[in-house]
Amino acid sequence: MNQDVFAPPEYKEGIDADAVCGQCNTVNPEGTLLCKVCGNNLRDQRSLRLAADQMLEGDAQQAPQTTFLYKLLPILGLLIVLWLGINGSRIIESLTTNETTDYTLAGALAESLWNGVHKDRFENLASGSMLSPGIQSQAEQARQTVSPMTHIRNGRYAIFMHVGTEARFAGVANIEADNNAIYYAATMQDGTEFRGSASYLEGTYFSRWDDAGMMSDGLFYAMAGTAQVQPDGSVSVSGQSDMNTLQYNCSAYLLKE
């Protein structure tokens, strides 16, 4: 007969095992092999405990030539090795689960910039970042006639991506400054969109992973990056998304409207 997978483990007499679980302190019926709460092997626990007791008894019969800590270290090491052996798979699983959850959450936060409570604000910004005919010549003119500034201002910025030693026009960003923060939306020539906010601190604007996002081919990715105003008035930008490990480096120039 098949046993219900949710039924408690079958208890068999004659098993030399501890009753009290050393991991969760649960008192199990005598003869239990596996703890009914956490699954700890109580027979292995008993064997380890007896071995530790024998080691301590053997040391007690000898002249006290070493300190108590020295005697305790081998036992602690044995306990750690056994614990890792029993719980290694759980540790690996928990680490993998946390990483997956973080990435899932990051993608959801990125999508909220398009569909969340602040959608209208970013939609308005995005409408000003649309690429129009002649934008590339306007962008080049902005790059050649850049004016000094100390903070990022409201307006549209031409984005030039650094490729080797060259700077190539890549898209347009529309930025709204609000006290010590900025909100932005950008549209690239390849259709990729960026949205997010950045906080200002000691000369640098910071976008954290939960502040910014990228939409590429209908998929959403979290982003993080920094921006700094340069002495000539250009804005140097660097960032990374969780889509890949590439580091993006570009410069932005305020368009003359």
Domain chopping of the chain, boundaries: 1-65, 121-254
In this prediction the pTM is: 0.59
Contact 131, 187 (CB under 8 A): yes
Fold of 121-254: Lipocalin (2.40.128)
pLDDT one-digit tens code per residue, 59-69: 555 545 556 66
Q: Which two tokens stand for residue 33?
A: 């092999």
pLDDT one-digit tens code per residue, 152-203: 999 999 999 988 888 999 999 999 998 889 999 999 999 999 999 999 999 9
pLDDT one-digit tens code per residue, 67-97: 666 666 777 777 777 666 666 555 555 554 4
Query: Which residues 6+ apart lie within 8 Å of 130 measured at CB?
Result: 172, 187
DSSP state letter for 2: P
